[in-house]
Amino acid sequence: MEQRLANTWRMTVNEKKFIESALLSGLRVDGRNVYDYRKLSINFGKEDGSAEVHLGQTRVMGFVTSQLVQPYRDRPNEGSLSIFTEFSPMADPSFEPGRPGEFAVELGRVIDRGLRESRAVDTESLCILAGKLVWAIRIDIHILDNGGNLVDAANVAALAALLTFRRPECSLGGENGQEVIVHPPEAREPLPLIIHHLPIAVTFAFFSDESTLVVDPTHQEEAVMAGRMTATLNTNGDICAIQKAGGEGVPQSVIMHCLRIAATKAADITVKIRDTVEAYNTERALRKIKRHSAPVALDVSGTGPNDWSCLWQSNIWTSY
């Protein structure tokens, strides 16, 4: 991986040997046990749908927006969910601006697979008018600082942002019932997304010795690892996705051992996310201010998607 190679170039031979020999002795440079996570903290912005996650020295921000679009033909009653990643050179010198690199694409796919294939988000509830108008949910992942294990941090940021996001409420009206009315937050309280469960990504790093593995590798450990695997599970222990990003082969017994560890870690992280989101919702209810504004009607009968699409971002709606 391009990220791991860049980290390798920045490290001396003695540093790599020190990390490897410490791991063989069951020790980690930062003092953690092999199956311990770094300190995880979640902070929310002033607007709904934004979350910043700190996992040790790793910092990732997730931001959720929604847009009214035309549904896919094969799924006329379902909205859509898409994930985009941005790797800034300020987070790591190895990241280049512009076109996403290999690791950026992989990170987005791992999170997308855990959310989409497990159907964590109820996409049918995003339908406004079957075959004509649905909500498209977009998750933007911004890497602010690369301290290692970006996948797990980005996954938590995406989940926290989804749990605090609110979309505007819509209703149908007009003479033919084809007029979609998008109500601003001043008129009606925005609606949260329906999320059935939280798929938690847990990343393991493997080293030259197959019996040596660690949870939540730092960027120094990523520089000397021989392989990596991310297991995505929910609090019930259901396996949502598994990603083995190249490297040396891993025996089945080791994979099963990793899944048992991942199930425990997923339950702990789920509790952390839900407690933090509950505290945010309580604070949000206390600072809620009523505002007054008239709803805007959007007539979608016989028009194209560009005529009635509506973008919602940070409690601000515009029609064009």
Higher pLDDT, 309 or 33: 33
Phi, psi angle pair for 228, to nearest 5°: -150, 150
**Mean pLDDT across the stretch 71-91?**
88
| CA separation for the pair 205, 235 (Å, rounded) | 22
Residue 213, token pair as written in the block = 């593995």
Residue (of 143, 187, 140, 183) closest to 165 by Cα position: 140
Q: How confident is the model at residue 302 (pLDDT cuts 50, 70, 90)?
A: low
The pLDDT of residue 299 is 60
pLDDT band at 297 (very low <50, low <70, confident <90, very high): low
- Rg of the chain, C-alpha, whole Å: 22
Q: How far apart are CA 159 and CA 156, in angstroms?
A: 5
Query: What whole-number percentage of the chain has pLDDT above 90?
Result: 48
Which has more pLDDT, 307 or 194? 194
39-66 per-position pLDDT tens digit? 999 999 888 999 999 999 999 999 999 9
Asked if residues 260 and 89 have their Cβ atoms less than 8 Å apart, the reply is: no
